[in-house]
Every structure is written in C-alpha cells, then in structure tokens.
Structure 1
Amino acid sequence: MDLIVRAVDVGSGNTKYVVGTEGTEIRCASFPSIAYPSASETQAWSASERRKTVSIPIGHLFYEVGPDVHLVADSVRATQLHDEYTDTPEYMALLRGALHLMKQSRIDLLVVGLPVALLHLKKAALEKAMTGTHEVGGGKTVTVVKALAVAQPQGALAHYASVHKKMATIGNEQSLIIDPGSRTFDWLVARGMRQVQKQSHSFNRGMSDVLRLIAAEISKDIGSPYRDLDAIDLALRTGKQPVIFQKSYDITRFMPMAEAVAQQAVSAMKQYIESPHSLQNIILVGGGAFLFKKAVKAAFPNHKIHEVKEPMFANVRGFQLAGQNYARTVMAAPRADQGATPSGSKP
C-alpha cells in the first residue's frame, strides 16, 4: 500500500496545503491565516448562508478557519507576529483546518515548514506536536503517523530543481533561495540540497510591514484609521486601487516606501552572503516575490533571478517532493523487509 504524504505551510498571511498528487502534478490550495475564536462550535447555516469554514476545537475554545473566514464578523489576524507562533492555539487551528480540508483520515508523513532562523530551535517540538491524532472539527479526526519540519526556502529549492529538471545536477551547485513572506524575510544558501547554516537566516521584515506602513500613511491622509490591509495588498499586486469613502484611492505615491522596505531586507541579507560570485542559482519565491524582485535584481545585477509559477505555493510543493522522497527511501524500506502478511489474512 502506498504511503500517504501531505504537506502544509502555515504562513502569517496564508496557510498553504497539498490537496493531492497525480503523476508529477502537485495540487495545492490555501486559505487566509485567520482563526476566529468562539466559545462554541459554529452553528449550522442554511445552504444560502453557509460559509466555507470549519470550527476546530483547541482547549476550551473553537477556532473558525477556512477560505470564507473573512465573512466572520470582527475577525482578526490570528497568527501571532512573533517567534513563538508555532506554539499558539491559532497555529494549531490553522494546521488542523488544512488537515480537515485534505479529506484524509490518516497521513503517514506530514511535512511542515519553519522560518530559517527558527528551524533548529523549533524543529523537534513542532514535529512532536504534529504527530498523533488531531481533532479537525465536525467530530472528525486525522492521524499523523510521522512529521518532518524543514526550512521553508528549502522546499522552494526542491520545487525549483524538479520543475527545471535539475535534480541530477543541482547537487553540485550553489544556490540562494529568497523567500519574502507576510511576516518574515527568509533566505537560504545551499550547496546541493544542503543548507549552509551560517549564511542562511530570516528576520521579521515582510509584506506585513509594507502593508502596515501604507495603511498608516493612508490614515494620516484621510484623517481616520484605515486598516483594510487586504485592499492594499490587492492594489500592490494587481493595480486595482482601494475604494475609500466611495472613491478610488491612488496608492502609487507610496510605492517608494514599499520598495525601501524591500531594499532594507535585501541589504541585510547580503551581509550574510560570503561569495555571491559563486552562486549558480538565485531563486525568488514567496507571496512577496513580486514586490522584492526589483531590490533582489539590484543587489545581484550580474545574476539571472529565477522565479517559478505560483510562487506562493513553491515551498509547500517542495515539502511534498521532499516528503515523497523520504517516504520512498526511508519509510518504505522497513515495510518491504517485514515480508509477513497481517495477522488473520491469507498470503
């Protein structure tokens, strides 16, 4: 029987997860990293009002998560913007929400991600927390037999190598993977698929900083608090300007401020890179890739900056590939060696 492998990347902006695989295709989905707490499970709604969310029991509370969580009144960003976020009930609710949406009652190997700076601090504890039986709402449970936590950009490297048919050659190359997310700006220097720890790091300088800065400037301009960060994010990505007081509001004048945040992050990263001329691959991924691309190109003018389709899913797709490889080479071997048929069954 094939082992069931799945991957989840709980980010501060979005929770990404693998729905399934078919050949070389890895199907992914996402929902906002918002978990709305309540004292009781979400009531049953009529078909016309039903929203795509699930109530996850954590301790004495229920956390509503899912694609339609924005419809929850007075919802707030639940993932904490600090280094202990993997220890919060909101993180667990988002992770279990992804498990619910995968529609698997048992997962043999679950691969999850951590920012580079937290990997060695949080890896063991996170793997332990992910292993076991999880209540995922609606009276359902999901059993995770084994869990692996990896550095988030390491997933992107595996995905890039797979897409560009470089799995056979990348073992002899040096790569820099840059992953600007919502909360953190991560980067990883690798020789082959192995992380060069002293040149890899992350810090809190991501898209959320850009959105909050622009929101503060809009608030000063209109004379009242403005907190619609999603509208600002959409404007930066698509050019569709937010509507404020029934009028389209031009935020293009704040672009130099946004670009300054990206430049600061990239400049700090460059201090860790010892031999930029030796880098054979520079790969830009993550939900903030579109905004950081200009700063990355300016920092490495003699390199080609590689990107991937759907950069938001690059990490989780790489997690899936790494998990599948681990399942084939490590987990499947003991089963093959057992040779015996299950008790009570015929050979």
Structure 2
Amino acid sequence: MDHVVRAVDVGFGNTKYISSVVGGDIRCASFPSVAYPRMREPSGEPGYERRKTVAIPINGLFYEVGHEVELAADTFRATQMHDRYTETPEYMALLRGALALMRQPVIDLLVVGLPVAALTTKKTALEKAVTGTHDIGGGKTVVVRKALAIAQPQGALVDYAVQHGKMATIEREQSLIVDPGSRTFDWLVARGMRFVQAKSHSVNRGVFDVLQAIAAEIGHDIGTPYNDIEAIDLALRTGKNPVIYQKPYDISRAMPMAHSIAQQAVASMMRWIDASYSFQNIVLVGGGAYLFKKAVKEAFPKHRILEVKDPLHANVRGFQIAGMNHVDKLFSGSRVAAQGGA
C-alpha cells in the first residue's frame, strides 16, 4: 500500500511545506510565518481583493495565512517568538494553512519539526496536537493519521546525505549540522544519522536578533526609530542597499554588529561540543546561513563548511525523505498490534 507522507516545518520566520511529490521529485514551498486574526472570513468582507492566502477557522476567529499575507496586514506585525509557540493558535493556523495548500485530504504520516532544545519537552504534545482532523475552512478538512516530530537540523542531515550521495557512508561518520533560524540558532551533533543529545542544543540568537540590531543602528543614524525588518533582510540577501528617505542607505556600516551577534551564537555552540577535529561533515543550512557563514568558518578554520542546495528548505525536504523511509514500518507496526489484540 502506498502511504501519503508530507512534511511541514513551521519556523518563526517562514513556514515551509512539501507542495508535491512525484516519484523522487520532492518540491517545496514556503510562506511567512504570520497569521492575521479576523472576526469574519475575509472573502466575505466589503472591498475584498482575492489574494494567495487561506483563512483558517480556530476558536471563533479566522486566521489569514499564506504567500500574500502581507496584503492582509495591518500596521502591527504580531510575532509568537517564545518557548510555547507550538501551543498557540497562530502556530496551528500556519500548520493548517500549509495543509490546505498541499491539497491532500488524507495524510498518513505528517512529519513536523522542533528546535533541538524543545524536542524532549514538546515532542509528545506536538505529535498529539497534529494528529487528527483539521478544519482548513470552506467546509474542507484534512485528516492526519499519524504525526512524527523530529529535531529541525536532523532533517537537514538527511537532506545533505541524499544530495551528496552519502546515505551509505555517513553511518560511519560524525557530523555537525548548524541551522541558524529566525529565532533560534540550532546545532546537532550526529553519529551516523542519530543525533547526540548531550551535545546538540539551541540558543535564542537567530536571524531576527541580527536584523533587529541592524534596525537599531539605522534608527540611530537617521534619528528616528526604524523597524522595516523585511527591507533589511532583502538588502542583506541581494546586496542592494535599502532606500530610506528616498536615498540608498549604506547597510555595510551595520555589518560589524551583525557579525558580532553571529559570533555570540557560534561561541555558545562551541561550549557544548568538543573534539571538533572528529567531524567529517560540518553542514550549514537554514534561511540564516548567509548571515552566519563567516562566524562558523572562523570557528572551524581547518574544516570545509559544507552547504546544500536551497538551504531554506533543507529541513522540510529531509523530513519528507525520513518520513518516506519509515512510513511502512510505522504502519506495519500498527497492523501487527491490531492483529495481536484481535
């Protein structure tokens, strides 16, 4: 029997999901991790203009999420960057928004991710919350039969091994996966495909801290508070200076501060790991890889820092591969248990 496997990685900055699987071709997509609550379904409001979003009903409200969510925005951008993020209605709205965009009415196994530091405390509760029937609005539902939560960088490790044809050899190697996200800077030490929990962790020193520090520096320079985080992020990714008061602002002036924050995150990691010479693979992934690459290289000057194609989606792509590799085993176990109890 062919089981339907899908993966979602609800991050603090972006929600990544598997948009389609055709044979060995796994396609990913993402949208901002922003959910705007409304009292009514937005398509029924006066003057509504159709946009690439979905409205997810939760607890009497409609949370609008999706690719064009910025068109639904008011002037306040709500964020849920705290340790109980997975328990919020915003998290569930983002997850269900991804389920709606997948267009799969029944998913046999849904793989989701957690920061390394949250895995031991949040895994069971998240798997329970994700399993079951999800109302995605418009009279439609998605049924998730089983859920599996794994550490976010563990997905990236699987993706790296597949991309580089190392699934057979990596079992004899030690690896370090470094995953700078929006809120958390995660790292995972692995022997083969299994992570070493005592040396793997997360710290709250991610991309958002870098962007916020740069915004503060810009605000100091221009003499007024500056909070266009998206413009800073775009400028850093493209190398084009943001336009402020109709003039390009030289963002390179703020880069020493950005590098200092990246160094702080890497220094926290170095206190947890030892014997760095034993790593055969040091892999840098995540949407914030471009901001942390220099600091990681400084910490490991004798290593080659490895990367993957499309690092933003490395975790969710690896989740999908891991789920496809294990789904038959999970369901065969369920059948054996059912037969034994009959």
Q: Match for residue 122 of structure 1?
A: 122
Aligned to 1:74: 74
In 1, distance between residues paired with 2:67 and 2:82? 24
Per the TM alignment, residue 44 of structure 1 is displaced from its structure 2 partner at its CA by 4.4
> Following the alignment from structure 1 to structure 2, what is the Cα–Cα distance between the partners of residues 224 and 72?
26
The alpha-carbon deviation at position 26 of structure 1 amounts to 0.9
Distance across 1 between alignment mates of 2:133 and 2:302: 50
Which residue is 1:12 aligned to?
12
Q: Which residue type is aligned with residue 123 of structure 1?
A: K
What TM-score, normalized by structure 2, do the two folds share? Answer: 0.95
**In structure 1, how many angstroms separate the alpha carbons of the residues matched to 2:140 and 2:85?**
25
Asked if 1 retains the 8 angstrom alpha-carbon contact of 2:4 and 2:108, the reply is: yes
Aligned to 1:197: 197
Q: Structure 1 65/75 Cα, relative in aligned 2: closer, same or farther at 3 Å?
A: farther
Contact map agreement 1:6 1:107 (CA 8 A) in 2 = yes
Deviation per CA, 1:141-193, whole angstroms, max 9, x where unpaired? Answer: 10000000000000000000111111111111100000001000000000111
Structure 2 counterpart of 1:36: 36
Matched to 1:152, the amino acid is Q
C-alpha distance in 2, partners of 1:141/1:223?
50
Aligned CA distance change for structure 1 residues 51 and 100 (closer, same or farther; 3 Å): same
Report the equivalent of 1:181. 181
Structure 2 counterpart of 1:207: 207
For 1:344, the equivalent position in structure 2 comes to: none
Opposite residue 160 of structure 1, the aligned amino acid is Y
Give the corresponding residue for 2:159.
159
* Change in CA separation of 1:336 and 1:19 when aligned onto 2, cut-off 3 Å: farther
Provide closer, same or farther for how the CA distance between residues 150 and 79 of structure 1 changes in structure 2, counting only shifts above 3 A.
farther
How far 1:78 moved relative to its partner?
3.8
Q: Cα distance, 1:79 vs. partner?
A: 4.1
Could you tell me how far apart the structure 1 residues matched to 2:130 and 2:160 are?
A: 26
How does the TM-score come out when normalised to structure 1?
0.94
SS in 2 for 1:80: coil
Superposed displacement of residue 75, structure 1: 5.5
Q: Which amino acid letter does the alignment assign opposite residue 142 of structure 2?
A: V
Aligned residues: 339
1:222 aligns with 2:222: yes
Render the CA deviation track for 1:80-121: whole Å, top value 9, x for unaligned: 111110001100000000000000110000000000000000
- Asked if residue 91 in structure 1 is aligned to residue 91 in structure 2, the reply is yes
Mapped contact 1:178–1:283 kept (Cα < 8 A): yes
Q: Deviations over 1:244-288 (max 9, x none)?
A: 112211111001110111111111101111211111100000000
2:241 maps to what in 1? 241
Q: What is the alpha-carbon distance in structure 2 between the residues aligned to residue 333 and residue 123 of structure 1?
A: 20
Q: Do the aligned partners of 2:36 and 2:73 also contact (CA within 8 Å) in 1?
A: no
| Alpha-carbon distance between aligned partners in 1 of 2:73 and 2:186, rounded to the nearest angstrom | 33
CA distance in 1 between counterparts of 2:91 and 2:3 reads 26
Displacement, 1:58? 0.9
The more displaced of 145-154 and 58-67 is 58-67
* Letter paired with 1:49: E
SS in 2 for 1:123: helix
One-letter amino acid of the counterpart of residue 88, structure 2: T
- Which residue identity lines up with residue 134 of structure 2 in the other structure? H
Find out whether 1:170 has 2:199 as its counterpart. no
SS state of the match for residue 143, structure 2? strand
How far apart are 1:333 and its partner, in Å? 6.2
Q: Quick one: structure 1 residues 151 and 140, their matched pair in 2 at CA, closer, same or farther if it must change by over 3 Å?
A: same
Per-residue CA deviations over 1:35-93 (Å, capped at 9, x if unaligned) read 00111111248999311111111102111000000111315444411111000110000
| Structure 1 pair 23–76 and aligned structure 2 pair: CA distance change class (3 A) | farther
Amino-acid identity (%): 67
Letter in 2 for 1:94: L
Moved more, 215-224 or 44-53: 44-53
Q: Report what 1:325 is aligned to.
A: 325
Corresponding residue SS for 2:42: coil
Q: Distance in 2 between matches of 1:46 and 1:160?
A: 48
Q: Aligned to 1:136, what secondary structure does the other structure show?
A: strand
